Amino acid sequence: MITHNSIKTKFICDIHLGKLARLLRLLGFDTFYRKDLHGDEIIKIVKTGPFNLFEVFYRILLRVPF
């Protein structure tokens, strides 16, 4: 896992970003990806921890509080 100043970097990728998820994992980043992951599930996971979200559709981003 890649860390910077003892902060773990975590990513979550939506269903359309499988190749990106694979590359992030190869680079050592903690990456969450499932083929059956959809909008509401993504929001629940993002709210549980410090994830950086990669999302193709901006509609999901409008529902996630920053």
Q: What DSSP line would sit under 15-31, residue for residue?
A: TT-HHHHHHHHHTT-EE
Q: Does 62 or 53 have the greater pLDDT score? A: 53
Residue 51, in any domain of the structure: yes
| 25 — pLDDT class (breaks 50, 70, 90) | very high
The H or E element containing residue 41 is helix 39-48
List pLDDT tens digits, range 30-58.
888 888 877 778 878 888 878 877 766 65
Structural domain range at position 42: 1-6+22-55
Residue 45, in any domain of the structure: yes
Q: C-alpha distances in angstroms, 49 versus 5, 19, 32, 42? A: 18, 23, 12, 11
Residue 30, in any domain of the structure: yes
Residue 2, in any domain of the structure: yes
Residue 15, in any domain of the structure: no
Q: Is 19 left (phi over 0), alpha (psi -120 to 50) or beta?
A: alpha
Number of domains within the chain: 1
Q: Does 62 or 42 have the greater pLDDT score? A: 42
